[in-house]
Amino acid sequence: MKIMIDMDDVLTNFNIAFLRVANEMFGTPIETTITIWDFWKCVPGLTLDMEEKVWEKIKSMENFYETLPPYASARDLKKLSSLLEEGKHEFYFITSRFPTKGRSVQAQSQRWLEKHLGRSGAVIISSNKGQLCQILGIEYAVDDAPHHIENLLSHGINTYIMDWPYNRHIEHRFRIRTLGEFLDSII
């Protein structure tokens, strides 16, 4: 079986990392529920101009993606690591991350996987996940970003939605709350 797993806000907690940088820069709250894809529309005290400055700061941070905290639980990461080691399924970690200072996005992502899973995996950087998954023959995918979910679904990919308030407007029967729930559903 071929499986695609998004990294940010499925494996890693990008949202909290963004909120921490915004807090350091502008004193905005860290404990904020991201209800809309545009941070400035849901983070109290954050303007569009401030959000753009946070993105610029993140781009200037060396190896930013390697430092992201896990979103998936230690138990779920261990389960994924065991499945990778078992080798019965092909896993692809497809992410649409932008470059930051330091190592390439792919190298940073692979190093994060090595640190948290004890092994790396096939990391692909792409913003057209649906077409790429179609080409790769992906049978199941999990993502959180509304535009990626819609792109995956429009390409006929069996997609599970990592449930976040900002993607609840998408009507879809495969909605999960954890990485483990996704893995249990498909394997």
DSSP string, 33-92: ---SSSGGGTSTT--HHHHHHHHHHHHHSTTGGGGPPBSS-HHHHHHHHHHHHH-SSEEE
Among 87, 111, 89, 107, smallest CA distance to 99 is for 107
Give the chain's end-to-end CA distance (angstroms, integer): 9
Cα 151 to the chain's mean position, in Å? 15
SS3 state at 177: coil
Catalytic: 143?
no
Catalytic: 6?
yes
Query: What backbone torsions phi and psi does residue 182 show, to the nearest 5 degrees?
Result: -65, -50
Among 149, 160, 157, 155, smallest CA distance to 187 is for 160
Among 158, 157, 159, 161, smallest CA distance to 178 is for 161
Q: Which one of 6, 76, 143, 144 is the catalytic residue?
A: 6
Q: Provide the residue type at 184 as one letter.
A: D
Task: Give me the active site residues, please.
Answer: 6, 8
